[in-house]
Amino acid sequence: MPTATDPSLNRRKLRLALKAARDKQGLTQRDAADGLEWSLSKVIRIEAGTVSLSVTDLQAMLRLYEVTDGGVVKELEQAARGSKGQSWWSDYNDVIAPPFAQYLGYENAADSIRTYHPTLIPGLLQTTDYMTAFFRASPPSTPRARNVDLRTARQERVFSEDGPAVNVIVDESALRRLVGGTGTMRGQLTHIKQLAAEGKIGLRVLPLSAGAHASLEDSFLLLGFHDDEDVLYVAGPGGVLTNRDNREMVAHYQECFEDLTDKALNPEASAAFIDDLLDQMNRS
């Protein structure tokens, strides 16, 4: 997990600790709101990790939840002070939709990432040339350079030395689609192969021969945490969604990823598949 003291990490620390303390007292969020004389939405936002928390409000919650351990209180007060301020992606708020901003807050604290896209190279693996070609096909009003910069900054954080473990299933259709032309795709395939060879990703290729499966219309990411349940980000015909609380939906995509893993080539065969594609491109 990243060691940077991003405010989103402190908000997440507070979220986990305060929810656990409330549960220990057998209180609902409504009980907590009534006991603190706050709105229910304020408690919900704090436990979702989407807002900062003042030390005064934290102390009120700790009194209600009967948290008296001095070391714990001091640690949480420090987290509350660090929960204020802007996260690294705030510089890109002009090109980030709220569901994706929420997702980035979770990704910033994740220990693992599992991802699949049915038609494109997943964003975490895209080269700058591939991104540029992709965004060039977007409407003229799209801030293309800003989107490329955001995606590149995200990659740098995920693939930092203390970043999360990343496992990716890449669809054969994405590997064969000539986004940006043969030269761009040659560089893209080489980049994927290098990421796998360096151990930065676990790579599996899903061949077209795998046939129909439950994720043909949706791309998704599953974020894993050593101290929390998975978070889902899904994009498809119905739009995009970041979800942590609908456990049935999260479980569905967990099953999808396992099913895709079973259908995909193993890592060695996946590397050989990409080598074959590169040979074909080099001969063309």
49 and 95 together in one domain: no
C-alpha span between 255 and 245 (Å, rounded): 17
Write down the pLDDT at residue 87. 85
Q: Is residue 1 part of a domain?
A: no
Same structural domain, 125 and 178: yes
The answer to whether residue 2 is domain-embedded is no
The most distant pair of C-alpha atoms in the chain lies apart, rounded to whole Å, by: 72
Predicted local confidence at residue 2, as pLDDT: 41
61/117 same-domain check: no
List the chain pLDDT tens, one digit each, 284 residues: 444 467 888 888 899 999 999 999 999 999 999 999 999 999 998 998 888 999 999 999 999 999 999 999 999 999 999 888 888 888 899 999 888 888 898 898 899 999 999 999 999 999 999 999 999 998 888 899 999 999 999 999 999 998 999 999 999 999 999 999 999 999 999 999 999 999 999 999 999 999 999 888 889 999 999 888 899 999 877 778 888 889 899 999 999 999 999 999 999 999 999 999 999 998 87
Alpha-carbon span 200 to 207, nearest angstrom:
22
pLDDT at 3: 40
Q: Tokens 């009534």 — which residue?
A: 34
What does the pLDDT read at residue 214?
86
Chosen domain end from 55, 81, 107? 81
Q: Which residues 6+ apart lie within 8 Å of 179 measured at CB?
A: 120, 121, 130, 133, 134, 185, 188
What pTM value is reported for the model? 0.82
Is 86 inside a domain boundary?
no
The per-residue pLDDT for 18 is 96
pLDDT of residue 4: 46
DSSP type of residue 266: P
Bridge partners (DSSP) listed for residue 112: 165, 224
Residue 146 domain boundaries: 91-283
The CATH number of the domain holding residue 180 is: 3.30.870
3-state secondary structure of 170: strand
At 188, which amino acid appears? Q
**Same-domain check for residues 101 and 75:** no
Residue 283: what pLDDT?
85
Same domain membership, residue 103 and residue 141: yes
Question: Could you give the residue ranges of the DSSP H alpha helices within 49-92?
Answer: 55-64, 70-81
Predicted confidence at residue 196, as pLDDT, reads 97
- Give me the number of domains the chain comprises: 2
Residue 5: predicted pLDDT = 61
- Select from 48, 81, 114 the last residue of a domain: 81
Question: Does residue 153 share a domain with residue 12?
Answer: no
Final residue in a domain of this structure, among 81, 99, 121: 81
Residue 265's SS3 state is coil
Say if 266 falls within a structural domain: yes
Residues 6+ apart with CB under 8 A from 81: 55
User: Both 67 and 98 in a single domain?
Assistant: no
CB 116, CB 257: distance < 8 Å: yes
Residue 14 belongs to domain with CATH number: 1.10.260.40
- Burial class from Cβ neighbours inside 10 Å (0-12, 13-18, 19+) for residue 70 reads exposed
Same domain as 181, residue 131: yes
| Residues whose CB is less than 8 angstroms from the CB of residue 137 and which lie 6 or more positions away in sequence, other chains included | none
